[in-house]
Amino acid sequence: MKSLKVRAIDLRRRGWSYNIIARRLGVGKSTLSHWLREIPYQPNKTVIERIRLGPARSAANKQRRRLQEIIFFKAEGRRQIRAISDRDLLFLGLGLYLGEGSKLYEDVRIVNSDPQVLGVAMEWLRRSCGVPDRNFAVVVHVYPDSSPEASVRYWSRVTGIPRRQFEEVQIDRRLDKSSRKRRRLPYGTAHVKVYSRGDRRFGVALHRRIMGWIEAVYERLRA
C-alpha cells in the first residue's frame, strides 16, 4: 500500500489542489506544503473549473447566509413584540410624527411614500388622537410618469380615506429630480392632513397637543 506521502505526490502531479488532497487523504495542509513544495503543479480541468466558478459560488453562499440571517432576525424581532397597547401606539405615533410630521406650522400633516408608515400614522391619528374620518384630507404628489387617478385609488385603499376627500393631485415637473426616484415611487407620496371642520379639537389645538406630547417626552428623557 502506498504511503500517504507517495499518494499525495501522485495526486499533486495529476493536478489536484491542496484542499482536495487534504480532504482525500486526511492530511493537514502544512504537511502537504512540506511534502509537495518541489512538485511542479499544473491544475487539472476540474480544479480550473472550480477556480472559475469560485467567485460565483462564494457570492451565492454569501447571499444564502444573508437571507438566512434576515429570516432569523426578523423572526426574533417578531417574537419580541407582544400586543400593542394604546400607550404603545401613542409613543409609536409620536416617534413617527417626530420624523415625518409637520412641526414648524400649526397644522397636523404627515407625509410619506411608504404605505406601511401611512397605515401606522392613520391608526395613530384615529385611535390616539381621536380624529374622525371626516376631518381627514389627502394630497397626492406624483411624477409626470405616474397616473394621478391610479395614485389616488392606491392611497385611498392605504389610508381608508374616501376619494372624495382627496384634494387636487400635485404633479412634480421639476427637471432636476432624479429619474431613479420617479421609477421607485409609482404612486408618489401622500400628504395626510387633518382639518378642524368646525371642531376646534382637530385644528391648531391638536397640533399643539401633539407638540406638547413630544416636548414631554424630551423632558422625561432629560430628567
- pLDDT, residue 92, reads 96
Q: For 31-44, what is each residue's pLDDT tens digit?
A: 998 898 888 888 88
Query: Residue 194: which of 108, 76, 125 has the closest Cα?
Result: 108
**Using CA atoms, how far apart are residues 140 and 43, in angstroms rounded to an integer?**
63
Query: Residue 162: which of 127, 131, 133, 139 has the closest Cα?
Result: 133
Element spanning 52, H or E = helix 45-80
- pLDDT, residue 42, reads 87
Residue 40, all three cell numbers: 511542479
What residues of the chain score a pLDDT lower than 50? 1
Q: How far is CA 79 from CA 68, 73, 75, 91, in A?
A: 17, 10, 6, 20
- pLDDT, residue 175, reads 62
Diameter of the chain measured on Cα atoms: 99
- pLDDT, residue 75, reads 94
- pLDDT, residue 181, reads 56
**Using CA atoms, how far apart are residues 212 and 136, in angstroms rounded to an integer?**
21
